[in-house]
Structure 1
Amino acid sequence: MKKGIRVYNLYPKLVGHMDKWIEHFDRIQAMNFDWIYINPINYPGFSGSDYAIKDHYLYHPLYVTGKYDFQHPEKHVKQGNDLLKKVCKEAGARGMKLMMDVVINHTAFDSPLAQKHPQWYVRNPDGSLRHPGAMDGNNWVEWKDLAQIDNAHSSDRQNLWNYWLEMFVFYCSLGVRGFRCDAAYHVPADLWRFLIPRVKEQFPDAIFLGETLGCQPYQVIEVAEAGFDFISNSFKWWNLRDEWFLEQNRQYARRAPSITFPENHDTLRYAHETNGNQRMAIMKYALGAYICSSISITIGFEFGFRRQIHVVHTDPSWWEPALYDISSELAKINAIKAQYDVLQEDNYLDILHLNDGRLFGFAKESLNGKEKIVVLANPETHGTHTVRVPNLFYIMGTTRVEDISPNRKAKHVTDNFEHQLEPGEVKVLYATR
């Protein structure tokens, strides 16, 4: 099973021209991330949404010219391709790879593909293009700027599927090595089984991340079994108590590695949710990193940005003054995560019941049974608490236990372990057998 990855989501509209992306690469590298993920960068439809792609081979002008000049985007294709190659090369020079967002279950409603290949789209009874949508409570909401692709039943399915394959291969040829596949569960599993191995035949180091948030358990399993290297994880919404996350963990942990995040482009900023509490931000990141095989942040998380990303309106003027800077703490957590197999894998969690539920703890074993961790955390915003773990050596299955926490390491770990946990502090105890 593939080891976990550490992903920095550089939201392109917040930064601008591709050359400006590269200006962030040194500090991203210093935080020990090994992937840079960018949201869709292709030319958008009339709504301007990043996820309403009009043409898969044209670029949003902001990233190529630095301006919102939507006239004649075809003039800037070579420049865009060269810039993307440069971005991938600069990331590679720093030991990182580039992952891009792809959307293949719909296009912009005004995409030329609808005229060139009308049989590629789902149609209403009257022959008009069908808008995709979703339930919002009891109401069905249609996205009027989108047209739904008929990946499952198109009468020209082979040419449609080859179109997607050629698109993936093209961006791999420019240096892209990862694909975050938006709403992967809305795409037939057979299409993924067609695409993923064929891309990897030509580019064996390519990876595929299936976005599976909000879907049914059987859909997550279908995506995991369709060849994806990683699936999404809902840890962000877990309160560290409710059973639903543990049930998901039991269902998915050994099917495919999962990636979590404290915030993304669809959620509120974590600093907004916690009223700028940097201790809570560090704790949320640390627990996600230790529980899940893979972890991601959105640009600005490290600085306490509060303004939520908007897929239409965000632009470089939305860059905020730093509320705080936790870059060095993220670097320590990532360095620890990269060092141990058990921190780069998903496996079942054994919850430890501590201090009448005021503290949080769990044990997790590596898939080969050779490593084990016990993680202890104080999720309270105020107040230090003494955590006690009797019979720690029994839990770990060995007396050779060490403290690998990023800060305040215990020099000696005893069988009846005791530690004063500060607000937001996360303690990591490790054993190898």
Structure 2
Amino acid sequence: MTSARIYNLYPYLLKNFHSWAEKLDDIDFMNFDWVYVNPFHLPGFSGSVYSIKDYYAYSPVLLGIDYEIMEKEAEKYREIGDSFIRDFCKEAEKRKMKVMMDLVINHTSIDSDLIKEKPEWYKKNEDGTIKNPGALDGDKLIIWGDLAQIDNENSSDKENLWKYWLDYILYYAGLGIKGFRCDAAYQVPSSLWKYLINEVKKQYPDTLFLAETLSCTPEKIIEIIESGFDFVMNSLKWWNFKDEWFLQDYNKWTGRCPSLSFPENHDTERFAKEYNGDSRKAVCYYAIEAYFCSGIAITLGFEYGFEKKIDVVNTTYKDYEEINYDIVEDIRLINEIKAEYNILKEDGFAEIYDFGSSDIFSFLKKSLDGTEKIFMIANINTKTGVDVKVPDMFKIMEGHSIEDISHGHRMDEVSDNLEYYLQPGEAKLFYQKLK
């Protein structure tokens, strides 16, 4: 059974490599079992962490040195960077956590040395210049001029190109990296993913591959799943808990592969900014996402109500904010519950329970093997409490030994005719072990 509780340690919000390990005790306290770090490699001229110039060189900012110094003693600082990654992975393992890094193989920076060394690996425009990747933003096509698009599918030197990516993954796996978040996985050929995942798992069978699948159609997600991925991302963050689109899409592929949800990430607005510093809503939504899906992730600062949107070019340790609110204990308890029950470690078909109120979101879910059932009732209104009544709980939960396993106040006994006053932002979770 594959589950993941991921803490995204955005590397540039901390001063340097040395600062990373200092966060591990805090992350461990919150009961996360994965630490995911965004690209820490040498970026191209734009400075974007997703515009990688050299896959085997490290950011001079994180090394705490000037670029010129690193260039003069490249091999020395490569060894120093390797040592930092190796030691960080070991420190995480001491706390029973694993480290995940970004895998960006759809493009390089436009000033990467690979363009000169291996021009046949890149897509070209009609005039022979290197093609820049782009994406639609509504009806507008955005072209990223700092990036060069790799031709993973039709390169005349595809065999060596694919081998380059494999060697790259194996190199960092050898340093102790246990997981890879595959950036823009939908823009990379499925055949390449199958090759990479199969070959890596021959040497490192427990390696986890997480596909970025946001904005993908259900059909495309299924194609990606069939490439061998262990995890895909879902779009629960953008669901208002009412519209039908999310469940219609989700139910087309759920049960085939675990999925990851998140209240915010490095591409979105900060949750605290989006909801005006409402800590109750942060806890409520985190609980919903943690219990609905097999995987959950937060970004450094979510627990403290950080409000500045991460900028993959400009964010530095100087953007680390003062604490606006502290929900560390709530996250710790929710993660503890998630780690204890198998049904909370999988994705399955959810049945919405309609209370006839826009303030209440509630769902039922049975485990894929039919041995467990949960019933969640959440008051997403963080200003006003609400009375809920649920007749026939024993019938709904298919048993009489219902447990209240909520992270907050727990009922000593759950009766057949449930009556309960939900506090503003409160989430209740009921559990039944089925025979």
Structures share a fold, TM > 0.5?
yes
Letter in 2 for 1:42: H
1:153-168 paired onto structure 2 within 5 Å: 153-168=154-169
- The secondary structure found in structure 1 opposite 2:67 is coil
**Alpha-carbon distance in 1 for matches of 2:68, 2:265:** 27
1:202-213 paired onto structure 2 within 5 Å: 202-213=203-214
Once the two structures are TM-superposed, the CA of residue 423 in structure 1 deviates from its matched residue by 1.0
**Alpha-carbon distance in 1 for matches of 2:165, 2:193:** 10
- Contact 1:6 1:33 survives alignment (8 Å): yes
- The secondary structure found in structure 1 opposite 2:220 is helix
> Once the two structures are superposed, what CA deviation does each residue of 1:328-353 show, in whole Å capped at 9, x if it has no partner?
10000000000001101000110000
Match of 1:44 in 2: 43
**Alpha-carbon distance in 2 for matches of 1:356, 1:21:** 44
Match of 1:296 in 2: 297
Once the two structures are TM-superposed, the CA of residue 248 in structure 1 deviates from its matched residue by 1.9
**Alpha-carbon distance in 2 for matches of 1:260, 1:420:** 28
1:258-277 paired onto structure 2 within 5 Å: 258-277=259-278
Letter in 2 for 1:145: D
- The secondary structure found in structure 2 opposite 1:245 is helix
Once the two structures are TM-superposed, the CA of residue 62 in structure 1 deviates from its matched residue by 1.9
1:83-102 paired onto structure 2 within 5 Å: 83-102=84-103
**Alpha-carbon distance in 1 for matches of 2:52, 2:336:** 36
> Once the two structures are superposed, what CA deviation does each residue of 1:80-116 show, in whole Å capped at 9, x if it has no partner?
0011100000000011000001100000011111110
Letter in 1 for 2:49: D
Q: Does 1:25 align with 2:13?
A: no
- Contact 2:60 2:70 survives alignment (8 Å): no
Match of 1:414 in 2: 415
- Contact 2:270 2:307 survives alignment (8 Å): yes
Match of 1:279 in 2: 280
- The secondary structure found in structure 2 opposite 1:54 is strand
- The secondary structure found in structure 2 opposite 1:353 is coil
**Alpha-carbon distance in 2 for matches of 1:423, 1:329:** 15
Once the two structures are TM-superposed, the CA of residue 355 in structure 1 deviates from its matched residue by 3.9
1:3-402 paired onto structure 2 within 5 Å: 3-64=2-63, 66-67=64-65, 69=67, 71-73=69-71, 74=74, 75-402=76-403
Gaps of 5+ in 2: none
> Once the two structures are superposed, what CA deviation does each residue of 1:193-234 show, in whole Å capped at 9, x if it has no partner?
000011011011111000000122222111111000000011
- Contact 2:2 2:230 survives alignment (8 Å): no
Structure 2 CA distance for partners of 1:318 and 1:17, relative to 1, 3 Å: same
- The secondary structure found in structure 1 opposite 2:357 is helix
Query: Mean alpha-carbon deviation: is it higher for 30-39 or for 239-248?
Result: 239-248
Alignment size in residue pairs: 431
TM norm structure 1: 0.98
Once the two structures are TM-superposed, the CA of residue 71 in structure 1 deviates from its matched residue by 4.3
**Alpha-carbon distance in 1 for matches of 2:337, 2:357:** 29
- Contact 1:249 1:349 survives alignment (8 Å): no
- The secondary structure found in structure 2 opposite 1:373 is strand
- Contact 1:355 1:387 survives alignment (8 Å): no
**Alpha-carbon distance in 2 for matches of 1:249, 1:122:** 34
Q: Aligned Cα RMSD in Å?
A: 1.0
- Contact 1:3 1:341 survives alignment (8 Å): no
Letter in 1 for 2:34: W
**Alpha-carbon distance in 2 for matches of 1:78, 1:400:** 58
- The secondary structure found in structure 1 opposite 2:336 is helix
**Alpha-carbon distance in 2 for matches of 1:355, 1:71:** 65
Letter in 2 for 1:262: P
Gaps of 5+ in 1: none
Letter in 1 for 2:211: G
**Alpha-carbon distance in 1 for matches of 2:66, 2:232:** 34
**Alpha-carbon distance in 2 for matches of 1:139, 1:355:** 39
> Once the two structures are superposed, what CA deviation does each residue of 1:266-308 show, in whole Å capped at 9, x if it has no partner?
0000000110010000011100000010000000000000000
- Contact 1:403 1:430 survives alignment (8 Å): yes
Query: Mean alpha-carbon deviation: is it higher for 211-220 or for 260-269?
Result: 211-220
Letter in 2 for 1:27: D
- The secondary structure found in structure 2 opposite 1:72 is helix
Once the two structures are TM-superposed, the CA of residue 356 in structure 1 deviates from its matched residue by 3.1
- Contact 1:249 1:347 survives alignment (8 Å): no
Letter in 1 for 2:135: A
> Once the two structures are superposed, what CA deviation does each residue of 1:370-420 show, in whole Å capped at 9, x if it has no partner?
000000000112111011111111111111101000111000001111111
